Structure 1
Amino acid sequence: MTTNHSLAIEKLTLGYGDRTVIDDLDMSVPAGRITSIVGANACGKSTLLRSMSRLLKPHKGHVLLDGKDVHQLPPKQLARMLGLLPQSPIAPEGITVSDLVGRGRHPHQGLFSRWSKDDDKAVADALDLTQTAQLADRAIDELSGGQRQRVWIAMALAQHTDLLLLDEPTTFLDVSHQVEVLDLLTDLNRTRGTTIVMVLHDLNLAARYSDHLIALADGRIHASGTPEEVLTEDCVRAVFGLDNRIIADPVSGKPLMLPLGRHHGGHSLASTRSR
């Protein structure tokens, strides 16, 4: 089991130049649980995740890890506790899969320490878990989009952090691999106790795999709580402008959102507004 670190946000305002994206936001992440952040395009999901990993400095407010501002922590110390898989990571040209995954071990290397058996095991386990071991000697730029995404996840797993932030980890993956990745993250949470925060577009997968949902709208939290509390018809209408129905997922028992359109039982609010 890993250590359950606290991750919280206080009065956070984020933006780019004069444009505010997140405004005066307060939030806490349940330790040892899986949290998914959902919302319409450009609502601030990725911006929020970037700030939580200190890639983006806030205009106001704080991101607190164990009560300390992440911008005040030494980079290597932070990297041993918190890992990030960004939305569009860039790999050095020509780097192999095994070398890229091995970079996840850098926070655990001292100034004069050598590569250890623990590092070998962490990389091998990450490759096995993501079913990328057979790709170990291939160059990243030779792989398909789905293969690359699984390799990036392997690098994040090799980092062995207690908190893992993932921005659209199912991007480029077909349905079967989306489920595999989310099953993998669930295994990681249940076996290691890793706190996971991820941005997902698919509301139904978010509800099925998450303990906690946060719905963003216009740079603020519209709803936060269990999937049953957040994924409601009213919330989906308010956040996405989409008429819908919520039923119980026959597989997981979690809420399942059925979108309604002009041709299937209803009218989207977005199309109604445009008339």
Structure 2
Amino acid sequence: MSRHHDARELKAEGLHLRYDRELVVHGIDIEIPAGKITVIVGANGSGKSTTLRGLSRLLKPSSGSVTLDGHDIHSMPAKKLAQMIGLLPQHPTAPDGITVADLVSRGRHPHHTWIRRRDHDDDAVVAAALRATSMIEFADRPVDQLSGGQRQRVWIAMALAQDPDILLLDEPTTYLDLTHQIELLDLLTELNTTYSTTVVMVLHDLNLAARYADHLLVMAAGRVAGEGMPRDVLTPGMLSAAFGLESLVIDDPATSAPLIVPIGRFHCRPHPSIQEAS
């Protein structure tokens, strides 16, 4: 949150990921656009969170590779990688009794050496991260005394304090009400536009994904079903194939991004495109 970030080339080639004997991701090729916001979407079990874990080095490929600026991430020193890639996993856990400020300050550890310890610059970055996530007033409170939504914002603050070039987030809007979801996604957009932070996140809400993504990646059955700009990817045919969802895609009146209107069996009035399809 304190510097203009370098453009990093994060790529996966022939990436296979598995849990024990179960192959979850099947030989995918991905190139994350530097300095953009990429959103990964897909139905439950499609492999989207597994893909993010593979990109972050949490999960080692059974074959294929993930490279950062041409270097295999599994051969890079952990601290060096953490200076360039930050991760907010899906279900992080905090040590018992740790305060909000202490947890967020752990995001600064990758930038410390035996010579350079925590200093005023670190304190300023931590404070900025707490302010950005509206958690500054909770700085001295134990994390385990917070609500689910507040805890999620603390973890996001820690990821921001890490100040990486690439920020990976697995369902960062979990536990957040709609107001805080929009605030968080606006914050990530601000980081992207102000500091050129590359953002890659998994989202469940397709309409939020369509609104905030520069680049959309659709996963289905462990493979890439489609990728590109949201308007090019989120078609009724893609939504049917990847999600089993019958829908209309119209213009969002607030942003002109594609807006997905699901068609259910109830509470739907006749629409010309529905009548034509039938």
Fold conserved between structures, TM > 0.5: yes
User: Partner amino acid for 1:226?
Assistant: M
Structure 1 Cα separation of the partners of residues 173 and 140 of structure 2: 23
RMSD of aligned Cα (Å) = 0.8
- Partner residue in 1 for 2:273: none
User: Partner amino acid for 1:18?
Assistant: R
User: Partner amino acid for 1:81?
Assistant: M
Shift of residue 118, structure 1, vs aligned partner: 1.0
Where structure 1 has 5 or more consecutive residues not aligned to the other structure, the ranges are 267-275
Q: Larger deviation: 256-265 or 119-128?
A: 256-265
Residue by residue, what CA displacement relative to the aligned partner does 1:136-176 show, whole Å, maximum 9, x if unpaired?
A: 00000000000000010000000010000000000000000
Structure 2 Cα separation of the partners of residues 223 and 178 of structure 1: 25
Shift of residue 112, structure 1, vs aligned partner: 3.4
- Partner residue in 2 for 1:149: 152
Residue by residue, what CA displacement relative to the aligned partner does 1:61-105 show, whole Å, maximum 9, x if unpaired?
A: 000100111000000000000000000000000000000000000
User: Aligned to 1:110, what secondary structure does the other structure show?
Assistant: coil
Structure 2 Cα separation of the partners of residues 213 and 203 of structure 1: 10
Give the alignment partner of residue 44 of structure 1, picking from 39, 42, 47: 47
Give the alignment partner of residue 35 of structure 2, picking from 18, 32, 36: 32
User: Aligned to 1:25, what secondary structure does the other structure show?
Assistant: strand
Q: Larger deviation: 49-58 or 105-114?
A: 105-114
The alignment status of 1:55 with 2:58, answered yes or no, reads yes
User: Partner amino acid for 1:48?
Assistant: T
Structure 2 Cα separation of the partners of residues 265 and 28 of structure 1: 39
The alignment status of 1:21 with 2:24, answered yes or no, reads yes
Shift of residue 113, structure 1, vs aligned partner: 2.3
Q: TM-score, normalised by structure 1?
A: 0.96
Runs ≥4 residues deviating over 3 A: none
Shift of residue 114, structure 1, vs aligned partner: 2.2
Q: Larger deviation: 12-21 or 90-99?
A: 12-21
- Partner residue in 2 for 1:92: 95
Residue by residue, what CA displacement relative to the aligned partner does 1:190-244 show, whole Å, maximum 9, x if unpaired?
A: 1110000000000000010110000000000000000001111111101110100
Structure 1 Cα separation of the partners of residues 118 and 268 of structure 2: 60
- Partner residue in 2 for 1:189: 192
User: Partner amino acid for 1:135?
Assistant: F
User: Partner amino acid for 2:36?
Assistant: R
User: Partner amino acid for 2:236?
Assistant: E
User: Partner amino acid for 2:5?
Assistant: T
User: Aligned to 2:200, what secondary structure does the other structure show?
Assistant: strand
Structure 2 Cα separation of the partners of residues 192 and 261 of structure 1: 42
Give the alignment partner of residue 121 of structure 1, picking from 119, 124, 135: 124
Give the alignment partner of residue 265 of structure 1, picking from 264, 268, 274: 268
User: Partner amino acid for 2:163?
Assistant: H
- Partner residue in 2 for 1:241: 244
Structure 1 Cα separation of the partners of residues 266 and 176 of structure 2: 28
Q: Larger deviation: 105-114 or 128-137?
A: 105-114
Aligned residues: 266
Structure 2 Cα separation of the partners of residues 113 and 14 of structure 1: 37
Structure 1 Cα separation of the partners of residues 52 and 103 of structure 2: 22
Shift of residue 117, structure 1, vs aligned partner: 1.2
User: Partner amino acid for 1:170?
Assistant: T
Structure 1 Cα separation of the partners of residues 143 and 71 of structure 2: 36
- Partner residue in 2 for 1:169: 172
Q: TM-score, normalised by structure 2?
A: 0.95
User: Partner amino acid for 1:149?
Assistant: Q
Shift of residue 18, structure 1, vs aligned partner: 1.4
